[in-house]
Structure 1
Amino acid sequence: MKILVLVDGSKWSQKAALHAVGVAKRKRGRIVLFSVLDRREAKAFAFNMGARSGDVKDIKGFEEEIWKRMKKDVHDVLTNLLNLCREEGVNCSIKIVEGTAKDRILEEANNGNYSLVVLGAYGKSGKTRIGSLLEELAGLIKPPMLIVR
């Protein structure tokens, strides 16, 4: 059994990863921890930062710093989850890609020969309704989905 776990750094995605570890242990499966980095987020943060500080000349510098930080943060989260999997005796790997979350997730989920896709019900925004990305993906992902709350 090959399990794709979507990780965005939120507590919900980390909870989903913990649940996937339990499934993988019972089914002798392996896990791929998957995260998408979207440069548009770094651009938006940099623009807002520049606008607030009044330093619009250095937006590109802000963007590069934010982009580096985003990459480090997601790598740290995935590495911690990878170490947890190893401690639990679960075969696990990490995969970080760049692009638009919806497109890259659909590409990976539908073309990666997964038996199950596991994700948190909510994303980084922490809104109390089901995540908007989840709503977009629900009917388009071919393997079964397990949504963890």
Structure 2
Amino acid sequence: MVQNSRYHKIVVPIDGSGWSERAIPHAADIARNNDAEIILLHVFRTPAAEYTDQIALGGGDAQIQQMREEFKQKMISLRNQLRAQGVKARNQFIEGAGVASLICDYINDEGVDLVVMSSHGRSGISRFIFGSVAQKVMQEVSVPVMIVRPDRETN
């Protein structure tokens, strides 16, 4: 066991993109060096309440349930890969709207020591329009946040 570990609980928000998964190896290194646990956190965005009836009528409930289950399986696979590397890991699956707020609430409520997440690398007008979950998390939590930048394409 590591003496004087700085980190005990590390959250890695996973949104289903390959971008978000790029933060996992960084978190795994930190977890191994601190005998810490990684919590893979996913916020499943449920359909807006005003569309729930239309989704149900159109057979969308089954599709949403299938998407939810497929994502849970992917999260289990990521968790199991970490465990196979000797890293303590678990999944946390939250449903709701307001992804950044739900991530921040989880971090603040669960005694998390560190957040390791990737940025999608948006800039300019796209960042202004879509906002940045990473930026919102950095502003709203009191623990360190490590941002892993996406790979740049080389020309």
Match of 2:81 among 58, 80, 84: 84
1:147–1:62 distance in 2 versus 1, CA, 3 Å:
farther
Cα distance between partner residues in 1 of 2:79 and 2:62? 26
Deviation at 1:97, TM superposition (A): 1.1
1:42–1:23 distance in 2 versus 1, CA, 3 Å:
farther
Q: Which amino acid aligns with 2:32?
A: K
Matched, 1:139 2:139: yes
| CA offsets 1:94-129 (integer angstroms, 9 cap, x no match) | 11011121221111111111110111111xxxx643
Paired residues for 1:124-135 under 5 Å? 128-129=122-123, 132-135=132-135
Paired residues for 1:1-149 under 5 Å? 1-40=8-47, 59-60=55-56, 61-100=58-97, 101-122=99-120, 128-129=122-123, 132-149=132-149
Deviation at 1:41, TM superposition (A): 6.7
SS at match of 1:93: strand
Q: Which amino acid aligns with 1:19?
A: H
Deviation at 1:72, TM superposition (A): 1.9
Cα distance between partner residues in 2 of 1:134 and 1:58? 32
Q: Percent of aligned pairs with the same residue?
A: 28
Cα distance between partner residues in 1 of 2:87 and 2:46? 32
- What TM-score does the superposition give when structure 2 sets the normalisation length? 0.75
Q: Structure 1 regions of 5+ residues with no counterpart? A: 47-56
Which has the higher relative contact order, 1 or 2, with Cα contacts under 8 A spaced 6 or more apart? 1
Structure with greater helix percent? 1
Partner residue of 1:50? none
Asked if the contact 1:39/1:98 (under 8 Å) is kept, the reply is yes
Cα distance between partner residues in 2 of 1:113 and 1:2? 7
Q: Structure 2 regions of 5+ residues with no counterpart? A: 1-7, 150-155
Deviation at 1:77, TM superposition (A): 2.1
Aligned length: 134
Cα distance between partner residues in 2 of 1:67 and 1:110? 29
Partner residue of 2:152? none
Asked if the contact 1:82/1:93 (under 8 Å) is kept, the reply is yes
SS at match of 2:20: helix
Deviation at 1:28, TM superposition (A): 1.2
- What TM-score does the superposition give when structure 1 sets the normalisation length? 0.78
Partner residue of 1:51? none
Cα distance between partner residues in 1 of 2:36 and 2:44? 26
